[in-house]
Amino acid sequence: MAKKQKSNTGSNTIALNKKSRHDYVLQDKLEAGIALLGWEVKSARAGKVQLTDTYVIFQNGEAWLVGAQFTPLKTVSTHFVPENNRSRKLLMHDRELEKYQRATEQKGYTVVATAMYWKQHLIKVEVALGKGKQLHDKRETEKERDWSREKQRLFQHTQR
């Protein structure tokens, strides 16, 4: 008998928020669970999730992910109207929740979602504490990135 081999094709990443790295200086990252409905999990399996412009708010001692878009699949039941922009509860420990809540009360800090991925059979969200960048900071980061690319090209060219 031949054994079945698990094929690990593809990535565990469901969605990334690349804009967050451009708009914020990300400092402290944390993995949090997320409470989803069944049709949202199916959409996540299909890769129909968008994390652009997502952030976390704190209400009544709970963390809520705001702005995540789950595009419903066509196979969602006809008698159910999916709400793709609803706030979703994040599952965090009390210590982590208090730490991030205190940090957001400081001027200029916010908590943003940077990635959503599979961890075994669970969906996890990576959230990070970010401080908003000014326009000149964004330009500075872009210049540094361009210079490092150019330096790499020059270094490769001289090695040949």
Assigned domain for 45 exists: yes
* Domain count of the fold of the chain: 1
In a domain? residue 57: yes
Question: Span 53-78, mean pLDDT?
Answer: 86
Question: Does residue 93 register a pLDDT over 90?
Answer: yes
Section 130-156 average pLDDT: 79
Domain region containing 112: 13-133
Confidence of residue 89 (pLDDT cuts 50, 70, 90): very high
Tokens of 2: 């031949």
pLDDT surpassing 80 at residue 153: yes
> What residues have CB less than 8 Å from 69, skipping those under 6 apart?
49, 50, 84, 85
Judge whether 152 lies within some domain.
Answer: no
Domain assignment present for 146: no
Question: For the chain, what percent of residues have pLDDT higher than 90?
Answer: 22
Is 8 inside a domain boundary? Answer: no
3-state secondary structure of 16: strand
Query: How many helices (H) and strands (E) are present in the chain, helices listed first?
Result: 4, 9
Residue 6: predicted pLDDT:
46
Cα atoms in the Cβ-side hemisphere of radius 13 Å centred on 18 = 2
Residue type, 115: A
Q: Among 28, 79, 71, which Cα is nearest to 47's?
A: 71
